[in-house]
Amino acid sequence: MRKNILSPSILAADFNHLGRDIQDVVGAGAEYLHVDVMDGMFVPSISFGMPVMESIRKETDCFFDVHLMIEQPERYIETFAKCGADLITVHAEATKHLHRTIQQIKNCGLKAGVALNPATPLDALDYVLEEVDMVLLMTVNPGFGGQKYIPQMTGKIRTLRQKLLQMGLETDIQVDGGIKESTIREVLEAGANVCVAGSAVFGEHTAEKAKELLNIMQEYTQW
């Protein structure tokens, strides 16, 4: 049985008080910290990179779940490994040699994830599914926090979970974008087990909001 994990996205944190915000969510029981790296090419926006990761790594020993929204992520795998990543997720759309990039992540001793944009079919995972620890299904178009969950993604989550079960794989399914109190039950019920949440967690009463999502997640352990 796989565990349900909350991965708060620090993209929505107050960067002026990043250490405090991280302590709040870790203290509330979040096991992962979702680190969104954007390059202004693969996605329109630019977020933050290595120096920020290095300094927050000193702040916490929490599991760093690094989501690379960058073109040719193979250029930066070793660098992010050195900055303290525990898991690196690359987009299938961003690398020409997905299989090789996954091996590169694993060769660094890290867990490997593959992300799919909402319009990318699940077929993109054929031939690599056995190799990855986690599949990230984007539930909004990547690039910004605070967007609305795309309802068609629920069927995509369900189809992937069924496929994994048929293959006898316990791979994690992460969902990212628009996850909040009103949408989290739907994704958990469909078979997601790692939930990213940015704007639904950070802001006022960060610890309480993280705890509320964690409480809902505890109700869903049925698969």
- Taking the complex as a whole, the smallest distance from the CB of residue 167 to ligand DX5 amounts, in Å, to 26
- Closer CB to ligand DX5, residue 19 or residue 146? 146
- Closer CB to ligand DX5, residue 4 or residue 9? 9
- Closer CB to ligand DX5, residue 34 or residue 209? 34
Helix (H, G, I), strand (E, B) or coil at 148: coil
CA distance 203 to 207: 10
User: Which partner, ligand DX5, Zn ion, none, binds residue 191 by CB below 5 to 8 Å per kind?
Assistant: none
CA distance 132 to 141: 22
- Closer CB to ligand DX5, residue 60 or residue 199? 199
Active site includes 172? no
Burial class (CB in 10 A: 0-12, 13-18, 19+), 130: exposed
Positions of E strands within the chain: 5-8, 32-38, 63-69, 87-91, 111-116, 134-138, 172-176, 194-197
Task: Please give the residue ranges that form the binding site for ligand DX5 (CB under 6 A).
Answer: 9, 11-12, 34, 36, 67, 140, 142-147, 176-179, 196-200
- Closer CB to ligand DX5, residue 148 or residue 165? 148
DSSP state letter for 58: T
Active site includes 36? yes
- Taking the complex as a whole, the smallest distance from the CB of residue 113 to Zn ion amounts, in Å, to 10
User: Which partner, Zn ion, ligand DX5, none, binds residue 177 by CB below 5 to 8 Å per kind?
Assistant: ligand DX5
Q: What is the dihedral of CA 91, 47, 108, 117, to 10 degrees?
A: -10
- Taking the complex as a whole, the smallest distance from the CB of residue 141 to Zn ion amounts, in Å, to 12
Write down how long the chain is. Answer: 223
**The tokens of 77 are what?**
């795998």
Catalytic pick from 21, 39, 65, 176?
176
Which residue is nearest to Zn ion, using beta carbons? 67
**Residue written as token pair 């490994």:** 81
Check binding of 91 to Zn ion (CB under 5 A).
no
Check binding of 67 to Zn ion (CB under 5 A).
yes
Catalytic pick from 21, 24, 36, 172?
36
CA distance 116 to 112: 14
- Taking the complex as a whole, the smallest distance from the CB of residue 139 to ligand DX5 amounts, in Å, to 8
Positions marked catalytic: 36, 176
